[in-house]
Structure 1
Amino acid sequence: MIKIFISFATITTTCFFAPIQIQAQIQDQQPIPSLKETFKNEFLIGTALNTSQILEKDVTANKLITQQFNAATPENIMKAEIIHPTWNQFDFTLADKLVEYGRKNNIKINGHTLIWHSQLPRFVRQIKSPDSLAQFFADHITTIASHYDGKVLSWDVVNEALEENGSLRKSIFLQQLGEGYIVEAFRLAQKAAPHTELYYNDYNIEQPKKRAGAIEIIKKIKAAGVRIDGVGIQGHWRASKIPLAEIEQSILDFSALGVKVMFTELDLSVLPNPWDSDNADVSATAGNSKGKDPYPNGLPDSMQTILAKGYEDLFRLFLKHKDKISRITFWGVNDGQSWLNNFPIRGRTNYPTLFDRTYTAKPAFYAVIATKK
């Protein structure tokens, strides 16, 4: 039985979807529109896939994925701790299945990610010699990027290399290899994967200071004569406080550098934020307390409206700059899959995607669809 937690009477006339039509469509269980078809002339529409979805264990999820999305990014299986677990061992098993899944369903794959300070295998965290780390660095990028050259559309070559003030994150790579490690990562990826697009990916780079840091990275890569094809803005925002002006400026600033712009991990949290700023650092945690999980049994009408309006505003902005944006990827197929159920407080119930836990389209989904009308 499908549970609908929304009362369409609360939706104001400023929203652009038709409540009565939506309600009737859900009740009649008619086929819903397709995101990938709706925006086929504007940008790719992607989602993050977990292992169960890649292995097609959930029939309902698989039907929705193939109907709605034409791009996909793996949540975890291409991260170093899984694909390169020991010094001399690479495990391509799950990543190869993802590539096959994409080929079979005409879904373009974005590799995520070659160099990231988090989710490293234990042996890397124990390396103390810069020479040994440089050897790992080169072998890791060259082996994996070459294995998937021509099989994936793109790679997030370097992920989350910046602090909030725009300076380089004090990761193991910066500390042992120096500031040139980012340019070198792109140089190695370019050589190993000449038929693959190469991206820099980060969160909060729509914010002025961090954006300036990302611009500096892109300029340094280009000045070195190395290829960088795009920049990914992750898009982990609060539904009630989306920084639209900063997002628009980031689109303009990055595209002016001659690179593609993508929104790579889009989700809109509806839960109280324990901090006074957006934060997507997976190592950050906050203690649980009363009132921090306000909607364990379903999202109230008022919050459904806020979520729908947030997605509507974003997609109107994306459409305004459709000539500069190549992909929009949602970070999760449905609410139950979202990492935000456990970040930054474990065990909460969040509702940040376009589909609820039964894979039913939410008002936010129809708000996005309606931006094309």
Structure 2
Amino acid sequence: MNKFLILILSAIVFAGNQSTQAQTNSLKEAFKDKFLMGVAINRSQINQANKEEIDLITSQFNALTAENDMKWMYLHPKQDEFNFEQSDKLMELAEANDMFVVGHTLVWHSQLAPWVFKTAEGDTIDNAELTNRLKNHISTIVGRYKGKIKGWDVVNEALAEDGSYRKSPFFKIGGESFIENAFRFAHDTDPEAELYYNDYNLINADKRDGAIRIVKNLKSKGIKIDGVGVQAHWSLNEPSIEEIETAIEMYAATGVKVMFTELDISVLPSPWEKSTADISTRFENSPTMNPYPESLPDSVQTQLANRYAEIFELFNKHSDKISRVTFWGLHDGLSWKNNFPIRGRTDYTLLFNREMKPKKAYHAVIQTVED
């Protein structure tokens, strides 16, 4: 065999190997030198009820967030009662597969237990009692997983859309000190854990500036905060890449890590002028609002893939500032966007389809690293 033919055959084999590698590569492997790749998992997955789902989770991702089971109403349903059954199972899954766990979330105005703001007589508690309850809640939960859960969403969604503080019961009773106390109590309980502020629409200028104000206020008082979690519930067109990049740079300039904590991209028309993730909001279903009830046209699959690609090209560019990207759900069939803000719609927001097969968007995301 002459040398020229050997070179051609070698090139073909090499190209074939490269192609196979690209097809079989996982998200966590592709981005291992950039940032963690995470996924939010539901109770069925925490209980490992579906082996195919667990295999996909553990092969593709290296960070886990409980979609619901670590929220107050589940972990602390009564004042004198904690329920760690599901969170312990989550830890077992993570530890068996060497996965980073995000504790989501310690303090949030939604999905609370009904006792949180009330006395035994049904009156509203005062700030001193709220502080005591926050301390007990946070120190008990963080203490149980000290050294195991290395990152906590300490406070979730404490801002209104204009960047002012949301007028939640936490704020009405405790003012902004409830945020300061929450971070203090978490740090005192586990000084090594990373502590995050998490919210939606943090790309929008007013809310972005509000989050930066929280970071600067905590830092000015010597209170530990390590990162800002940007809930990335986005669409095919919004926010713009320029807006996302500006936010990354501005958050990083405060000295904290940036995380994209709840990434999904809706392909459906929005009933709002501005996007939101306020779970209390609902609209009526209609054929106009649910244009793809059976399947997604290939042209829209391509749009989704291109959108994910441009987002991850930006993430790669700023991987020195970004520590984690977490998808909010494993596959399209489990996306919360199928029912929000309009119940009964069919959306296609994630990288895996309802049969748990990788979509064009998955390959587009991988390709941003291969390129």
Q: TM-score, normalised by structure 2?
A: 0.91
Equivalent of residue 129 in structure 1, options 97, 114, 125: 125
Aligned to 1:57: 49
Amino acid paired to 1:276: E
How far 1:253 moved relative to its partner?
0.6
Give the distance between the partners of 1:330 and 1:32, measured in 2 at CA.
20
Contact 2:195 2:225 (C-alpha < 8 Å) held by counterparts: yes
Give the distance between the partners of 1:273 and 1:207, measured in 2 at CA.
17
The superposition leaves residues 234-280 of structure 1 with CA deviations (integer Å, 9 ceiling, x where unpaired) of 10000233321111011101111111111000000011100011111
Amino acid paired to 1:298: S
How far 1:125 moved relative to its partner?
5.0
3-state DSSP of counterpart to 1:124:
coil
Give the distance between the partners of 2:125 and 2:175, measured in 1 at CA.
13
Give the distance between the partners of 1:189 and 1:75, measured in 2 at CA.
21
Structure 2 counterparts to residues 1-373 of structure 1, below 5 A: 32-126=24-118, 128-130=124-126, 131-372=128-369, 373=371
3-state DSSP of counterpart to 2:37:
strand
Contact 2:198 2:231 (C-alpha < 8 Å) held by counterparts: yes
How far 1:294 moved relative to its partner?
1.0
Which of these two proteins has the greater Rg computed from alpha carbons?
2
Give the distance between the partners of 2:150 and 2:183, measured in 1 at CA.
16
32-41 vs 121-130, greater mean Cα deviation:
121-130
CA distance change for structure 1 residues 38 and 371 in 2, over 3 Å: closer, same or farther? Answer: same
The superposition leaves residues 330-361 of structure 1 with CA deviations (integer Å, 9 ceiling, x where unpaired) of 00010111110110001111100000011000
The superposition leaves residues 296-318 of structure 1 with CA deviations (integer Å, 9 ceiling, x where unpaired) of 11111121011101100000000
Amino acid paired to 1:338: S
Give the distance between the partners of 2:307 and 2:229, measured in 1 at CA.
20
Aligned to 2:9: none
Give the distance between the partners of 2:252 and 2:238, measured in 1 at CA.
24
CA distance change for structure 1 residues 367 and 31 in 2, over 3 Å: closer, same or farther? Answer: closer
How far 1:219 moved relative to its partner?
0.4
- Between the two proteins, the alignment pairs up a number of residues equal to 347
Contact 1:158 1:182 (C-alpha < 8 Å) held by counterparts: yes
Contact 2:285 2:345 (C-alpha < 8 Å) held by counterparts: no
3-state DSSP of counterpart to 2:115:
helix
Contact 1:240 1:270 (C-alpha < 8 Å) held by counterparts: no
How far 1:195 moved relative to its partner?
2.1
Give the distance between the partners of 1:291 and 1:280, measured in 2 at CA.
21
334-343 vs 235-244, greater mean Cα deviation:
235-244
Tell which has more relative contact order, 1 or 2 (C-alpha 8 A, sep 6+). 1
The superposition leaves residues 201-254 of structure 1 with CA deviations (integer Å, 9 ceiling, x where unpaired) of 011111111000000000011011110011101100002333211110111011
How far 1:134 moved relative to its partner?
2.5
The superposition leaves residues 52-95 of structure 1 with CA deviations (integer Å, 9 ceiling, x where unpaired) of 11111111111111110000110001000000000000001100
Give the distance between the partners of 2:334 and 2:193, measured in 1 at CA.
28
Amino acid paired to 2:55: K
Give the distance between the partners of 2:187 and 2:104, measured in 1 at CA.
16
Amino acid paired to 1:89: E
4+ residue stretches of structure 1 with deviation over 3 A?
none
Give the distance between the partners of 1:290 and 1:357, measured in 2 at CA.
21
Contact 2:196 2:225 (C-alpha < 8 Å) held by counterparts: yes
Amino acid paired to 1:154: G
Give the distance between the partners of 1:293 and 1:33, measured in 2 at CA.
34
Amino acid paired to 2:242: A
Identity level (%): 51
Give the distance between the partners of 2:62 and 2:83, measured in 1 at CA.
26
Contact 2:117 2:125 (C-alpha < 8 Å) held by counterparts: no
Aligned to 1:16: none
How far 1:293 moved relative to its partner?
1.1
How far 1:188 moved relative to its partner?
0.7
How far 1:289 moved relative to its partner?
2.5
The superposition leaves residues 144-200 of structure 1 with CA deviations (integer Å, 9 ceiling, x where unpaired) of 111111111200000000011000000010000112111111011100121211000
235-244 vs 172-181, greater mean Cα deviation:
235-244
Give the distance between the partners of 2:202 and 2:307, measured in 1 at CA.
19
